[in-house]
Amino acid sequence: MIYLGLGVLGFVMLLLFDICSLFEKSIVKYFFGVSGFSIIIISTVLIVRINSDITFSFSFRIISLTIAILALLLLIYSVFIEVGKNTYQYKNKSRLITTGTYALSRHPGVLWFLFVYLFGAIYFQNYFVLYAGLTWTVINILYVSIQERYIFSKLFDNYGNYIQSTPMILPSYQSIEKCFTTLNWRKR
């Protein structure tokens, strides 16, 4: 399916954004960042429009919609607000964020992304959304693995300590506790 491939291309563009950040190519990185996010969003909209033959009860769909919206808000919060100017500001000096949702896991956006698609698929009653979400989550995990190995270890001096203290994707009891003690919603 072409829409699925477009989403994968979006993640490739995001990887190019990170590579440009590493080499301080400020203007070019924005092209790749905006393009990557845009391609993933457009692919999602196109996939949602495909008809699927599954049905769920109205109440289950409403609960799923609520969870999907919450996950989307958490994704936006983690990727754009918490990291914010440290990543996306022009001519920025990258700074490692280890508090809030980044105390929960080193890549909380991967979990939020999966929840958006999993519960979105239930709401839209569309197994194509589920398939795309699962496929793109695997690509996302590959993407963050490449970030960890080749980019973040060079971009952040103390990334090794962060790796030792915080789980990569799936939170632990200790990381959940650390997340809630370091979240400060009023500062944002």
Indicate the pTM of the whole model: 0.91
Q: Is residue 79 included in any domain, yes or no?
A: yes
Contact, 161 vs 153, CB < 8 A? Answer: no
- Into how many domains does the chain fold? 1
29 lies in some domain:
no
pLDDT by residue, tens only, the chain of 188 residues:
799 999 999 999 999 999 998 887 778 988 999 999 999 999 999 999 998 888 999 999 999 999 999 999 999 999 998 887 666 655 666 788 999 999 999 999 999 999 999 999 999 999 999 999 999 999 999 999 999 999 998 888 889 999 999 999 999 999 999 999 988 655 54
Rounded to whole angstroms, the Cα distance separating 55 from 60 reads 10
Note whether residue 48 is domain-resident: no
Phi, psi for 136 (deg, rounded to 5): -70, -30
Distance (Å, whole) CA 18 – CA 152: 9
Distance CA 122, CA 64 (A): 6
Is residue 42 in a domain?
Answer: no
C-alpha distances (whole Å) from 66 to each of 36, 112, 119, 160 are: 26, 13, 9, 36
Range of the domain at 69: 54-187
